[in-house]
Structure 1
């Protein structure tokens, strides 16, 4: 009856399980012979096996039946744990006792060494568990070789243990745990799944020195019982060190299913940056305190983050200027402290003059612009009106009403521009640099950005949306690269540039951003972060859009980049391709007359560095 059910189970087995059963069968058979060989001379051991070979087969069959009963053949070798080893231990122990008892009844153990049962048990145990352990270690090492995000886990509880274990065995895990922050100092030096506890949560100062060697990108909180004040300290610590921070769901909600989406919540946008964020001390920006601040484009990604950060710096008043009613309403609910909202269009010079004249801002952050390349290429005159003409008028109003400072937000697309958006920003850079060199009442600064992660229209929200829909992710060209920065980095760059000395009037500030990032690799990284594979989420190439570059640059070849007193921020004051002011006035006149054909001719004339992709090919 037992053999009937055993054979029935064998028939139902898939190929992998059948290979495992065959492997174990031969191991148990050979273990019988090896146990004899270890105790007896080879000739005598072979002689005994000629009469005992049936018992070796019986020993193997009994073990396989017991192991199958324990469910060992329905598990996965990669997930082999202590439970499987205990099952093997029990099986070999029972089968060894059975065989020895049978041999005693039949042969009275004649000619069989007394140490044979012990040797049989040991050889069988190592023979069966060894390959399983080796397979798991090998798979762990192969998985670790893949590019993963180095993380620090906070907590030494069951959730941490489960999370660390899954990162080691789950192929879709995007994380590599390099250290643990425990809840008690007494735990420092101990290990969970060979990951060291490097510090305790109440001693973050000592952790500061240790993280330099860990090359961290993220902190993950696994202990949901941690006091809220400590969580706040961890948040501050992570931001201070340019690290993303996330939290693992409660153990009851944490899936151990290998097929489930594997991630901590939420996926931080900083994870796709591929480098540590630049960290600057914005609380020390004392020049913002008690000042009246005007932010144009306050409802946008950059303008909104500017408003939020400035509100924590104790300004006298923040003027939120935005042409989109809903965007203005949204940012107004997020800003603390004294502020007023102005629903206004920067192209309305009369309205802008009224606001600047009546409120007398100390600093203007000019973030408003048309920035979506595709739309701007179709409506170039609108870009000139918003990006260039409005900027010219605001600069004139600043000089007229003696506004102390204006910070203009530019883009890396202004460097060797190939599209209208980048070209219009480049023209603004040139204009501001020229007026700043004259007797001007305003100190002007230009901040040149790379692509801002998570901003409106960036690839990150697009990729996230495409992944949620199951793909495909669309990229325009497999070789496209971009410089990326987080919104926080971008805004800190703007704020710091507003504080630097008057000698830098008219200069361009740029953040050191290391190497540019491959958009294709970014897409792959986001797929991994989502817990999916490239087999599940395909990547499709759609072709370059009009005006789009393969690669961006942060500065012109002839621009001399100098370090500032703030680490990580570069500065240039080189004035390339100077333009006569009469040409600016002619262009302004043509734009105001809505003469698009002549305006575009003049625009191209005074901006020789602007060349389309087609022109660059010739």
Structure 2
């Protein structure tokens, strides 16, 4: 259609130029006999020039300066070719003024047609939408079923989709719901393809993690804000609709394939059971609650110190699982008497211990005693209370910072693993186990929320060191790993996830800056230096530890070495329970007596 209209404009401009040159009396009769054939050749040249300059690929309702530049180039090239052709063929009866003026008249004509169309479109759109809000124009990466469903509903939200991109050659050049497929995904880097887009939307929920990660990387290099449709898991769980775009979330940045778990085995452990979760309102605890609720427990006991967090998770679970009986308890794992009373009353069969202080620098200075009391002594009290109440399984959520710890938080979590293991022989009816994983993207205190806030403020984004790396997993993946540990773990075991390649924190910061539509010139990255107790890299296993495989791919069981200190846990606990408060230096000394591999950072 575009080429037909442009051809009509070329014909009108040719006649208008004759009229201007020869006047009303002679503009028809004074033409040479071969003028029709000349006009035919002129139209053909203009159309070929337009195609070469990608003029037909543009959308008139978004015509802007870039389109005008392409039209100018096409008209200039076509005008020169036509003039050279007429002169070379010695067709001297065609007036030279016509050859000179015709490209200018064509250029004015094609520009006016597009401008008029855009004015009418904007007027009609303003009448429909009331003219409220900014116009958001998107190019969508993906042209599959998700893109079709997105197009069906996104226009009602005030969005205008300029085009689609897809690597499938069969889709390129086609139209989906009236929107053209402009090229492969890497065409998003072409300004001519992006046109007047204000946003990019990734619509690849069913693609592999590697494909989604590639799409995110390409979109980030385009310099526009990037959004995405909900993931396949969100759509499957009914948490979102495909026509509702959202910001890029941590799991989109990670680009990892989710571990496939034994859902049937987990269901056997949780279905119809009373399950208690400490720290139920925290980042990991709240996701654990959601994951456990899916398996139909008889009762879910929420044990949480923060009143607000407890209220938040209770409201979320009540809305999503209205038939699940909830017990909402404000409680502190440092309160042994309250723990024993709680476990004695509700008799949980499965306990997930997620209550912990985990912020490394915060626990390093002035709060070391609080970290030890909560992370180590609180874990021991919760584990003993669970066993005394007849619990079948007790699962401790540990961390990679427990391996060769250099900080109080990591040492207190390694000590927690050891005090839980010390109960194995005393309570043979309870399985005690721990799950160890790396940093959780998007959890409270993680870098993602911090980077988001800094970008929203206009920067700078602070990274402690240019070489610092971390292993990452998503909150849902961490929660599923914990459930799997409860199903297959045996007493005294620590389960470890093969977390793949570590991520450089500075690269993560750069990606988030790009996905927000900015560059490092707009939002700089500042290196602030390593914080107290912080490592450049984390480990999931100590050198002397060994692992054995499990039926779950990428999930292994660590058989941890025993030391003389670990055999004296009972004496160590007895001394610690006698202390009311200890200074930081004394806490570090006490932790080293139990965890000899703990070497505080200088």
Q: What range is the shorter-chain TM-score in?
A: 0.5 to 0.7
Q: Is the 8 A contact 1:319 1:340 kept in 2?
A: yes
Q: Secondary structure at the match of 1:321?
A: strand
Aligned counterparts of 1:369 and 1:103: Cα–Cα separation in 2? 90
Give, in angstroms, the shift of residue 438 of structure 1. 5.0
Give, in angstroms, the shift of residue 392 of structure 1. 1.1
Give, in angstroms, the shift of residue 571 of structure 1. 1.1
Give, in angstroms, the shift of residue 105 of structure 1. 5.1
Q: Secondary structure at the match of 2:488?
A: coil
Matched, 1:267 2:248: yes
2:595 matched residue in structure 1: 607
The residue correspondences of 1:202-241 to structure 2 (distance < 5 A) are 215-217=211-213, 237-238=232-233
1:507 matched residue in structure 2: 493
Give, in angstroms, the shift of residue 439 of structure 1. 5.1
Q: How many residues are matched?
A: 457
Aligned counterparts of 2:345 and 2:540: Cα–Cα separation in 1? 37
Aligned counterparts of 2:507 and 2:169: Cα–Cα separation in 1? 29
Aligned counterparts of 1:609 and 1:529: Cα–Cα separation in 2? 41
Assess, with a 3 A threshold, how the Cα gap between structure 1 residues 241 and 312 changes in structure 2: closer, same or farther. Answer: closer
Assess, with a 3 A threshold, how the Cα gap between structure 1 residues 219 and 481 changes in structure 2: closer, same or farther. Answer: closer
Give, in angstroms, the shift of residue 534 of structure 1. 1.4
Aligned counterparts of 2:423 and 2:441: Cα–Cα separation in 1? 32
Aligned counterparts of 1:321 and 1:181: Cα–Cα separation in 2? 55
1:412 matched residue in structure 2: 400
Aligned counterparts of 2:398 and 2:375: Cα–Cα separation in 1? 10
Aligned counterparts of 2:208 and 2:445: Cα–Cα separation in 1? 34
1:309 matched residue in structure 2: 291
More divergent stretch after superposition (85-94 vs 319-328): 85-94
Unaligned runs of 5+ in 2: 1-48, 54-63, 104-139, 186-203, 217-228
Q: Is the 8 A contact 2:544 2:561 kept in 1?
A: no
Matched, 1:328 2:310: yes
2:301 matched residue in structure 1: 319
Matched, 1:391 2:379: yes
Give, in angstroms, the shift of residue 377 of structure 1. 1.1
Normalised TM-score (structure 1)? 0.64
1:345 matched residue in structure 2: 332
The residue correspondences of 1:138-287 to structure 2 (distance < 5 A) are 154-155=146-147, 177-179=166-168, 192-195=181-184, 215-217=211-213, 237-238=232-233, 265-280=246-261, 282=263, 285-286=266-267, 287=269
Deviations 1:222-251 (A, max 9, x none): xxxxxxxxxxxx967456999x999677xx
2:349 matched residue in structure 1: 362
Give, in angstroms, the shift of residue 442 of structure 1. 0.9
Deviations 1:77-135 (A, max 9, x none): 9x976x66764576458767997999725999xxxxxxxx9xxx9xxxxxxxxxxxxxx
Q: Is the 8 A contact 2:143 2:164 kept in 1?
A: no
Q: Is the 8 A contact 1:151 1:218 kept in 2?
A: no
Give, in angstroms, the shift of residue 520 of structure 1. 0.5
1:296 paired residue among 264, 275, 278: 278
Deviations 1:439-483 (A, max 9, x none): 522101100020000000000000011111111100111110000
Assess, with a 3 A threshold, how the Cα gap between structure 1 residues 533 and 446 changes in structure 2: closer, same or farther. Answer: same
Assess, with a 3 A threshold, how the Cα gap between structure 1 residues 211 and 325 changes in structure 2: closer, same or farther. Answer: closer
Q: Is the 8 A contact 2:275 2:300 kept in 1?
A: yes
Q: Is the 8 A contact 2:565 2:593 kept in 1?
A: no
Assess, with a 3 A threshold, how the Cα gap between structure 1 residues 591 and 91 changes in structure 2: closer, same or farther. Answer: farther
Normalised TM-score (structure 2)? 0.66
Matched, 1:593 2:579: yes
Unaligned runs of 5+ in 1: 1-62, 68-73, 109-116, 122-148, 168-176, 197-207, 221-233, 250-263
Q: Is the 8 A contact 1:430 1:575 kept in 2?
A: no
Deviations 1:492-541 (A, max 9, x none): 0001111115xx32111111111110001110111121121111110000
The residue correspondences of 1:367-386 to structure 2 (distance < 5 A) are 367-378=354-365, 379-386=367-374
Q: Is the 8 A contact 1:366 1:407 kept in 2?
A: yes
More divergent stretch after superposition (425-434 vs 451-460): 425-434
Q: Secondary structure at the match of 1:278?
A: coil
Q: Secondary structure at the match of 2:571?
A: helix
Aligned counterparts of 1:402 and 1:547: Cα–Cα separation in 2? 38
Aligned counterparts of 2:184 and 2:517: Cα–Cα separation in 1? 22
Assess, with a 3 A threshold, how the Cα gap between structure 1 residues 612 and 484 changes in structure 2: closer, same or farther. Answer: same
2:476 paired residue among 477, 481, 488: 488
Matched, 1:547 2:533: yes
Assess, with a 3 A threshold, how the Cα gap between structure 1 residues 583 and 442 changes in structure 2: closer, same or farther. Answer: closer
Aligned counterparts of 1:214 and 1:580: Cα–Cα separation in 2? 43
The residue correspondences of 1:23-38 to structure 2 (distance < 5 A) are none
More divergent stretch after superposition (438-447 vs 83-92): 83-92
Aligned counterparts of 2:162 and 2:502: Cα–Cα separation in 1? 31
